[in-house]
Amino acid sequence: MPLFAPRGILFDMDGLLLDTERIARQAWRLGGEPLGLQMPDEVYNKLIGRRLTDIETILHNELGRDFPIREWFAHADKHYKRMTLEEPLPVKLGVHPLLQLLAEAGIPAIVATSTTTALAKLKLERVGLLKAFF
């Protein structure tokens, strides 16, 4: 009998299963172009993995109350969806074999993500991972 027999494995999606953090960073950079603004890296790094409400608070605290959050987010979101839904979406090395091993061992895998359920399912489907979780 193995020393460690998990009843299930919990995975984060963006940055662990899917290599999307660099895509998100690029989308945020592009989001500022129509506004003539740039996102400092030290501010962007505080936004990673956060919900929109947290992002708004951080941006107000870091860049001021007049920072055009909604406009920036709308532009960035457009670029992010285009890049994740229309361009090749990179899967982290070893994800497919690991999920196959878990399936063969009968160990369920689930995803926890701050991404909306609909977008998470679309992204996982695009890369052939949805069936491993749903």
Residue corresponding to tokens 């494995």: 9
pLDDT at 30: 95
Pick the closest to residue 92 from 46, 52, 48, 123 (CA basis): 123
Does 65 share its domain with 95?
A: no
DSSP state of 18: B
End-to-end CA distance of the chain: 28
Residue corresponding to tokens 């196959």: 100
Total domains in the chain come to 2
Does 60 share its domain with 99?
A: no
Does 47 share its domain with 78?
A: yes
The residues, ordered by sequence, that sit 6+ positions from 130 with a Cβ below 8 Å of its Cβ are 121, 124
pLDDT at 2: 62
Question: Is residue 24 helix, strand or coil?
Answer: helix
Question: Is residue 91 helix, strand or coil?
Answer: strand
Look up the domain containing 119 and give its range. Answer: 1-19+90-134
pLDDT at 6: 86
Taking only the tens of pLDDT, the chain with its 134 residues reads 566 778 899 999 998 999 998 899 999 999 999 999 998 999 999 998 788 889 999 999 999 999 999 999 999 999 999 999 899 999 999 999 999 999 999 999 999 988 889 999 999 999 999 999 96
Does 10 share its domain with 66?
A: no
Other C-beta atoms lying within 10 Å of the C-beta of residue 46 = 14
Does 48 share its domain with 102?
A: no
Q: Does the predicted model carry a pTM greater than 0.85?
A: no
pLDDT at 11: 96
pLDDT at 94: 96
